[in-house]
């Protein structure tokens, strides 16, 4: 069924990747005169004059302990957005191939497709924000390379039914990407443990949300070794900078601290949901497995503007199909959430 060779673009199959100085010499040496770096140092207290590890092995070894996955099954991108772009460039012939997305969902799947001149087919989610498998199936043809699933989904906040995702994995011969950016906030378990079962599965996660490292730009893709090898071939040689690698390495030692933040955010989410439910302007609060909630209010645009005048910015999703009249609200600190609720209580329409 799944054969990566049938999916890859011809130019990528033939591609001879750039071989950097760090690729060609990996050993220990006293004097490095191979990469045209500045041996005198950097105009900083700490030096950043040497190119970083192209494959981020130290970071991956630490991730291996946390995720229980071999280094060979990991790719690290400059944010998940780089992973998304690389998959298009690996698999999709511009002007010929297509992918399927399930809106309302994360915007980058479509933007990145447009940048790469790849057709996007849309299997809109059902009213309960679950997959419409019947519609989805009708969209697949011989040129469909990727199905993008996002669970928990942004902006709706719900997890996709596991059985539905399994049906897609079992029946689609192309690549199934499950974007788990919000998995740490979810009641459900990750698909990472199913990688050995599904050769067509790629799971994306990120350090931008639960790990609180959005500014460092570190996104992860977990997949079979053959898929990871192709991604490594395509990526810019030094896609994760040295400062990010060092800081991530330190941060990954603090799993307990992160778990504590996750517990707090989930508690705050439930508290905000309970209090929002008492407000007259709130029509509906959608169940969330993420660090945000989708809320239907009487006057979304008006509420958005009112909050903005009070210095509180939320995401206006009211023009998005199936999210009509909705705001997407990230769960903040206890104080931030209290300020939000206080302002919302002042509205009475
Ligand atoms: C925030 C988010 C990401 C994270 O992107 P990064 O580039 O890693 O910061 C990925 N997917 C979804 C659905 C998101 O909401």
CATH number for 112: 3.40.640.10
pLDDT tens for the 349 residues of the chain, in order:
899 999 999 999 999 999 888 888 888 889 999 999 999 999 999 999 999 999 999 999 999 999 999 999 999 999 999 999 999 999 999 999 999 999 999 999 999 999 999 999 999 999 999 999 999 999 999 999 999 999 999 999 999 999 999 999 999 999 999 999 999 999 999 999 999 999 999 999 999 999 999 999 999 999 999 999 999 999 999 999 999 999 999 999 999 999 999 999 999 999 999 999 999 999 999 999 999 999 999 999 999 999 999 999 999 999 999 999 999 999 999 999 999 999 999 997 5
Output the CA–CA distances (angstroms, integers) from residue 130 to 106, 154, 297, in the order listed: 15, 13, 22
Does the beta carbon of 79 sit less than 6 angstroms from any atom of ligand 1?
A: yes
Shared domain for 286 and 305, answered yes or no, is: yes
Tell me how far apart the alpha carbons of residues 276 and 316 are, in angstroms, rounded to a whole number: 17
Q: Give, using CA atoms, the residue closest to atom 2 of ligand 1.
A: 181
Which residue is it, tokens 């970083």? 52
Q: Do residues 155 and 201 share a domain?
A: yes
Alpha-carbon torsion, ordered 94, 97, 102, 106, to 10 deg: -20
Q: Locate tokens 């900078």: which residue?
A: 241
Q: Is 107 in the pocket of ligand 1 (CB under 6 A)?
A: no
Q: 218 and 340 in one domain?
A: no
Instruction: Assess whether 39 and 187 both reside in one domain.
Output: yes
Ligand 1 binding pocket includes 219 (Cβ within 6 Å): yes
Q: Check: CB of residue 217 under 8 Å from CB of residue 29.
A: no
208 CB near ligand 1 (under 6 Å): yes
Bridge-based pairing of strands 326-330 and 292-297 is antiparallel
Q: Whose CA is nearest to atom 3 of ligand 1?
A: 181
DSSP H helical segments within the chain, as ranges?
4-7, 10-14, 21-24, 57-67, 80-91, 108-115, 133-139, 162-171, 225-234, 242-251, 255-276, 300-309, 334-345
- Judgement on whether residues 224 and 76 belong to the same structural domain of the protein: yes
The CATH number of the domain holding residue 323 is 3.90.1150.10
Q: Same structural domain for residues 190 and 335?
A: no
227/276 same-domain check: no
Q: Which structural domain range is residue 165 located in?
A: 4-251
Please state the pTM of the whole predicted model: 0.97
> In testing the pocket of ligand 1, which one of 125, 208, 240 has its CB within 8 Å of the most ligand atoms?
208
Does any ligand 1 atom lie closer than 6 A to the CB of residue 150?
yes
80 C-beta closer than 6 A to ligand 1: yes
Question: 236 and 320: one domain?
Answer: no
* Number of domains, the chain: 2
Same domain as 247, residue 268: no
Looking at the fold, whether 154 and 276 belong to one and the same domain comes out as no
Residue 185 in contact with ligand 1 by CB distance below 6 A: no
């Amino acid at each position: 069924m799944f054969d990566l060779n049938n999916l890859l673009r011809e130019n990528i199959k033939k591609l001879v990747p750039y071989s950097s100085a760090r690729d060609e010499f990996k050993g220990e040496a006293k004097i490095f005169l191979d990469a045209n770096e500045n041996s005198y140092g950097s105009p900083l207290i700490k030096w950043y004059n040497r190119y970083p590890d192209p494959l981020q092995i130290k970071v991956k070894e630490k991730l291996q302990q946390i995720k229980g996955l071999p280094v060979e099954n990991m790719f690290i991108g400059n944010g998940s957005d780089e992973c998304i772009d690389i998959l298009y460039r690996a698999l999709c012939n511009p002007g010929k191939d297509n992918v399927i997305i399930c809106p309302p969902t994360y915007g980058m799947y479509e933007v990145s497709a447009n940048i790469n001149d790849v057709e996007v087919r849309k299997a809109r989610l059902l009213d309960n924000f679950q997959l419409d498998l019947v519609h989805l199936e009708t969209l697949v043809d011989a040129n469909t390379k990727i199905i993008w699933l996002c669970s928990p989904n942004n902006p709706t906040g719900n997890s996709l039914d596991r059985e539905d995702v399994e049906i897609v994995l079992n029946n689609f011969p192309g690549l199934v990407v499950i974007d788990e950016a919000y998995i740490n906030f979810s009641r459900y378990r990750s698909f990472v443990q199913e990688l050995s079962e599904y050769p067509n599965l790629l799971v994306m996660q990120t350090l931008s949300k639960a790990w609180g490292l959005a500014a460092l730009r570190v996104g992860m893709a977990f997949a079979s070794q053959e898929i990871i090898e192709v991604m490594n071939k395509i990526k810019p040689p030094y896609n994760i900078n040295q400062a990010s690698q060092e800081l991530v390495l330190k941060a990954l030692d603090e799993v307990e601290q992160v778990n504590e933040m996750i517990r707090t955010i989930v508690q705050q989410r439930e508290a905000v949901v309970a209090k929002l439910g008492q407000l007259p302007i709130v029509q509906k609060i959608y169940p969330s497995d993420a660090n945000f909630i989708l809320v239907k209010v009487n006057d979304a645009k008006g509420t958005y503007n009112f909050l903005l005048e009070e210095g509180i910015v939320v995401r206006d999703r009211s023009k998005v199909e199936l999210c009509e009249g909705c705001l997407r609200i990230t769960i903040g600190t206890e104080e931030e959430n209290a300020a939000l609720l206080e302002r919302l209580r002042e509205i009475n329409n």
